[in-house]
Chains A and B, each alone.
Chain A
Amino acid sequence: MNALKSREAILGGAILVLVALIASRFPGFIAPANIIAVFTDTSPLMILAMGQMVVILTRCIDLSVAANLALTGMVCAIINVAAPGLPVALILIFALFMGAALGAINGLLVWKLSIPPIVVTLGTMTIFRGVIFLLTEGKWINAHEMSPSFTGVPRQDILGLPVLGWIGIVVAVVMMVVMARTTLGRAFFAVGGNPHAAVYTGINVGRTQFLAFVISGMLAGLTGYLWVARYAVAYVDIAGGFELDVVAACVIGGISIAGGAGTVVGTLLGALFLGVVKNALPVIDVSPFWQLAISGAAIIIAVAFNAQSGRSKGRVILKSAEHAQ
């Protein structure tokens, strides 16, 4: 039984082995400061993967997350430049709302017009990036134009961990509660697992998918502010192609692309796996240009692995065969 639990064990084991291998050659990699740095660096991926997870669970996909992140991040930066005195808390709330609104556009097109999610989000991906250009005419917003409080928040340490890392933890915990303990969380699984039956139990499939896109968008918006503030720069192409890493994290984490199967912990481990790989590359002196190919290979291997372990047993007619399983 428990193919998924074993998936998490495998993934967790793989990460540990990977870290151990690196540490055996470069002990500095497991110094507490470095571990915190790796975790913090992976937090944006973890946050976005939480949103993508919900979307994929409902049999959709959101390729616009990185573009949403870039657009929301840019607007946050523009607001900061225009009104440096505005409290960061307000900007954070604004980022959540703006991201959710952009996600809602995707969701509405999928829900009300039944346009395939891949088409919708491929389209909005380019539109969002184009809008950034329209807003800025291609200009960058650099560190010196942003207020110190704006750029400082994600990097501020609390109990040794930067706020960015804490936000990653908070999002993960909230999503665990949502997925396990709320009607909506169960509905995500139900809609993806058996949409036909979900209708019978009174779940509105389209509306559930819409909410998944809103959540994905909201988390992308949140990450937008964090990203721009952390790197203290905003331009059209920030986080370019990052949506592929997000999908990769989910797929590696065992989220079935056919919908309805997967766990929060698996997704987090999937993101962490990619984060460790990415941070290990410079340590073991491999060019960072390997990153893209590694993500791609990881997606393919993980999807193939998911498909093998997820092969439906089908209806078993022979009694003897049923007992044998």
Chain B
Amino acid sequence: MEDHGHSTTADPASAAPVLTLDKITKTFPGVKALDGVCLDLYPGQVTALIGENGAGKSTVVKTLTGIYQPDGGQILLDGHPVPFATPQDAADAGVTAIHQETVLFDELTVAENVFIGHAPKSRFGLINTRAMHDRTGEILGSIGAQIDPGVKLKDLGIASRHLVAIARALSVEARVVIMDEPTAALSQKEIEELYELVDTLKAQGKAILFISHKFDEIFRIADRYTVFRDGQLVGAGQMIGVAEEDLVQMMVGRSVDQLFPKSRAEIGEEILTVAGYSHPTEFEDINFSLRRGEILGFYGLVGAGRSEFMQSLIGITKPSKGAIRIDGDVRVIRSPAAAIKAGIVYVPEDRGKQGAILDMPIFQNVTLPSLHMTSRNGFIQLAEELALARQYTERLDLRAASLDTNVGALSGGNQQKVVIAKWLATKPRVIILDEPTKGIDIGSKAAVHGFMSELAAQGLSVILVSSEIPEILGMSDRVIVMREGRIAAELDGDNLQPETLVRHAVGISVEGEAA
């Protein structure tokens, strides 16, 4: 089954791929994002690109759309090498991508969004507004969307914006359509409509690259699969005859048990209690408690409101209602500084923006929230500062040339270790880890997981926010599932099953279950 796509025999309908990535390599400072990967896209077929975060999926998308230029290898269109030097080249070759949210312009109308870059022209080279609106209306009609082409995009909801993005893909003579996590922000009903749309595109003979890490939808619509791991191709073939376990095995590269060295820590008294936390638009009525030595998982789809809620715990987002108790005492947390004082720290998902200060040295990053501990009367004591930084970076087994190296020069895994070290140095009681292993290599991932267990064993309480089911199940003592800003379920013991988690996360009722 590891036939790498090239030597496929039993599929005469797709003899020749439209687009081929041939041994593409792309290197960024410190990371080899793609290492000689191959990918074939066939007309009228859906190829699923599967891989964990950081496997190289988004780099492939950027290479296919001309944003990145590969360092090695070539892109073949109908068997001929084509350089995609600019996004325009890729568009001219008929490659179009549907991204989640980034690709559209709020201040332009629906029609202008659909046709930006290739608007129909009238005499004098002016944009033919009427033709543009008519065409947009037709395309939107063909996918069953009732949206006024003249309305500004900012006045539309998420689902409608998504349809506009799809209409844009249909407005060009696309031969290859890339769908990057297209269902992430959609409801179940909208997802079903999207599947129908994919079928329509297939029937039109378009080659579709479908990027997702949801296995149910991959098995529902994909004809072929390609699996990446750490920037390398690990498998490709037809969906017929492949089992979910095989794909997981390829994706992860080792079995789940090996990856998650969860040791049972002794779970003690309640440390943190959250009661009725609500926010006008992001989350509502969040209640739970967290015990000493416990790892509490928060699972949900991307956009379920988990990060927004966690950020309200540390005073970034202000809740409109609700209370926090720490050791039974009510605490009001209005700023991260107050959260640190209360012993709650947050390792954010967005490492480059919220977690680390990339252009500052490692030791300054580590001591930033705990400067008061290494200074006297507000004056920095360099020796003490370096000592504190050394203590925690060595505890996390950081690999770096020196403590005055800028964090930005480190690999993703080592950056994450710096961020975790920074928060441990404040001697917290509760540590919230938001997607702590996103985009880091397997080795660092295992180190982070091991460390998480160790922390819990030492009596720290850990909240683990993750969208990766194996990670959540492998590490957590208890799991809370969030959906659309609310707690959908709280699971422990035998209820901690992948299917149960997913069903609660997407809102499918669970039969005969009383969780």
Contacts and interface: CB of A to CB of B under 8 A. Distances in A.
Q: Of B67, B119, B127, which is in contact with the most chain A CB atoms at under 10 Å from its CB?
A: B127
Contacts of B154: 313
Contact of A317 (B126, B151, B484): B484
A88 interface: no
Nearest to A321: B281
Contacts of A202: 86-88, 91, 117
A180 B108 CA distance: 10
Interface string A215-248: 0000000000000000000000000000000000
A186 interface: yes
A314 B105 contact: no
B303 A201 contact: no
Contacts of A183: 117, 119, 127
A50 B304 CA distance: 44
A316 B283 CA distance: 9
Given A186-B112, A200-B67, A314 B155 contact: no
B97 A186 contact: no
A193 B87 contact: no
B127 A201 contact: no
A203 B104 CA distance: 13
A193 B154 CA distance: 11
Nearest to B486: A318
Interface in B83-101: 86-88, 91, 97, 99, 101
A194 B106 contact: yes
A201 B155 contact: no
B126 A177 contact: yes
Contacts of B303: 315, 317
Interface string A304-325: 0000000001111111011000
B190 interface: no
B107 A193 contact: yes
B405 to A, nearest CB: 25
Interface in A238-262: 260-261
Contact of A190 (B105, B126, B158, B486): B105
Contacts of B105: 189-190, 193-194, 197-198, 260
A167 to B, nearest CB: 21
B287 interface: no
B441 interface: no
Main secondary structure of the interface of B (DSSP, over half): loop
B484 A318 contact: yes
Given A182-B125, A186-B108, A200 B97 contact: yes
B129 interface: yes
Contacts of B434: none
Q: Of A177, A196, A261, A315, which is in contact with the most chain B CB atoms at under 10 Å from its CB?
A: A315
B114 to A, nearest CB: 11
A189 B126 contact: no
Nearest to A203: B117
Interface string A277-298: 0000000000000000000000
Contacts of B305: 317-318
A181 interface: yes
B67 A199 contact: yes
Main secondary structure of the interface of A (DSSP, over half): helix
Contacts of B282: 316-318
B87 A199 contact: yes
Contacts of B106: 193-194, 260-261
A194 B67 CA distance: 15
Nearest to A177: B126
Interface in A6-25: none
B31 interface: no
Contacts of B151: 1
B155 A1 contact: yes
Interface in B318-358: none
A200 B65 contact: yes
Nearest to A3: B154
Contacts of A322: 157-158, 281
Contacts of B126: 177, 181-182
Contact of A196 (B102, B152, B284, B304): B102
Q: Of A1, A314, A318, which is in contact with the most chain B CB atoms at under 10 Å from its CB?
A: A318
A55 to B, nearest CB: 16
A318 B119 contact: no
B378 interface: no
A203 B118 CA distance: 11
Contacts of B88: 202
A322 B99 CA distance: 21
Nearest to B155: A1
B112 A315 contact: no
Given A194-B104, A202-B91, A318 B116 contact: no
Contacts of A318: 281-284, 305, 484-486
A163 B83 CA distance: 53
Contacts of B86: 202
Contacts of B283: 317-318
A322 B153 CA distance: 15
Given A196-B102, A200-B99, A317-B281, 18 more contacts: A1-B151, A177-B126, A182-B127, A190-B116, A197-B105, A201-B91, A201-B116, A203-B116, A203-B117, A260-B105, A261-B107, A315-B101, A315-B158, A318-B281, A318-B284, A318-B305, A318-B486, A319-B484
Interface of B: 65, 67, 86-88, 91, 97, 99, 101-108, 112, 116-117, 119, 125-127, 129, 151-152, 154-155, 157-158, 280-284, 303-305, 308, 484-486
14 contacts: A1-B155, A177-B126, A183-B119, A186-B127, A193-B108, A194-B103, A197-B103, A202-B91, A202-B117, A261-B107, A315-B101, A317-B281, A318-B281, A318-B284
